[in-house]
Amino acid sequence: MKKKANAVGVGVGAIIVDDQGRLFLARRGPQAKNERGLWEFPGGSVEFGERVADALQREMVEEFGIQITVGALLDVVDHLLLDEAQHWVSPTYLCTITGGSPTIREPGKCTEIGWFSLDELPGDLTQITQENLAHYRRLLGLDLGGRPEHRLTHVDESGRVQMVDVGWKPDTERVAVAKGEVQMRPETLRLIAEGGVPKGDVLAVAQVAGIMAAKRTPDLIPLCHPLQLTQVVVEFEIDEPGSRIEITATVRSRGKTGVEMEALTAVSVAGLTIYDMAKAVEKTMRVESVRLVYKTGGKSGEWNREGKERTDER
């Protein structure tokens, strides 16, 4: 006959993610209260009168010598171990390391630690960690096999528009490069290149407009996050054989979400400004081929528009 749990304990766990998107796991040692030898997201018990976040920060210092910031609540698992007469309620939080490097300080509780990407996780995970991991994959938009779910992240499960929560993500270096072009008649292109447009220096005004637009992207695109951009570069190349002006925008930031929309917005507004500055000369100009050609940062890493264009990270 199975034992009856006679007490409920509160444990707390941390999903710690590094800037490469890897997860920190620890293998439970011989002094663990249950599931010895299995890998888990690290955590510990909450003492009477102790705040959950304070308990988690204390446990990380005592067991691994690291300081953490406790972020968003990911999951709460009701964990019943009848064979061991234990019942645990375990909230798990998304966390980042703010000081120290993980080391094993209590070998009785933990025998091994490591950083793992989602596609190389060990198979012997605790029950709570398996449930936490399923929630974490859904948060990333992945199915249980680690494949991207084909769904729009700006739409919730009820079909309502939402602004995606990125507070749990680690800060990483973000770069995006976008391109576009303005097609026009050769005589219009020559007039712009020679500075003969009545309104003034077309490319100088378009450059400033592109930079300003990148900074104001969340005011133009409703569900974009306000970002602290570290650099915006807007460049032009006059292509006489093609009778066009090519526009390139490079945007940089360090944060929790990408700057692709900022780069695309910069190119779009720079192209529209060229049109506005020169429309008195030619109204048949066309702003065309606005596209992302390069991005890096975040869990998806580096992306290039393959086989079409070659870009460098300026």
Where in the chain are the domains?
Answer: 8-139, 172-304
More confident residue, 35 or 168: 35
C-beta neighbour count of 288 within 10 angstroms: 12
**Angstrom distance (rounded) from CA 279 to CA 68:** 56
Ordered DSSP codes for 149-197: P-S-TTB-TTS-B-----TTSPPEEEEEEEEEEEE--HHHHHHHHTT--
pLDDT of residue 154: 53
Residue 39 buriedness (CB in 10 A; 0-12 / 13-18 / 19+): buried
Backbone dihedral angles phi then psi of residue 226, each to the nearest 5 degrees: -65, 130
**Architecture of the CATH domain 172-304:** 2-Layer Sandwich (3.30)
Active-site residue identified among 83, 201, 276, 312: 276
Q: How confident is the model at residue 143 (pLDDT cuts 50, 70, 90)?
A: very low
| Closest by CA position to 17, among listed 124, 105, 141, 116 | 116
Higher pLDDT, 97 or 149: 97
Out of 4-8, 36-40, 83-87, 197-201, pick the least confident: 4-8
Give catalytic status of residue 276 as yes or no. Answer: yes
Cβ contacts of 310 within 8 Å, gap of 6 or more: 304
User: pTM of the full predicted structure?
Assistant: 0.54
Q: Would the pLDDT of 145 be above 60? A: no
Range 8-139: architecture per CATH: Alpha-Beta Complex (3.90)
Would you say residue 82 has pLDDT above 80? no
According to the model, what pLDDT value does residue 89 have? Answer: 77
d(CA 296, CA 311): 12
Q: Which residues are registered as beta bridge partners of 81?
A: 86
The mean pLDDT value for 14-38 works out to 86
Instruction: Give 309 or 164, the one with higher predicted confidence.
Output: 164
Angle between helices 260-278 and 186-193 (to 10 degrees): 100
Tell me the per-residue pLDDT of 109-130, one tens digit each, with 9 for 90 and over: 999 999 998 888 898 998 888 8
Q: Is residue 231's pLDDT more than 90?
A: yes
As a whole number, mean pLDDT of residues 232-258 equals: 94
**What's the pLDDT tens digit per position in 50-63?**
888 899 999 999 99
Q: Do domains 8-139 and 172-304 have the same CATH topology?
A: no
Q: Which comes out higher in pLDDT, residue 149 or 276?
A: 276
pLDDT at 45: 82
**Mean pLDDT in the chain?**
83
Contact 57, 46 (CB under 8 A): no
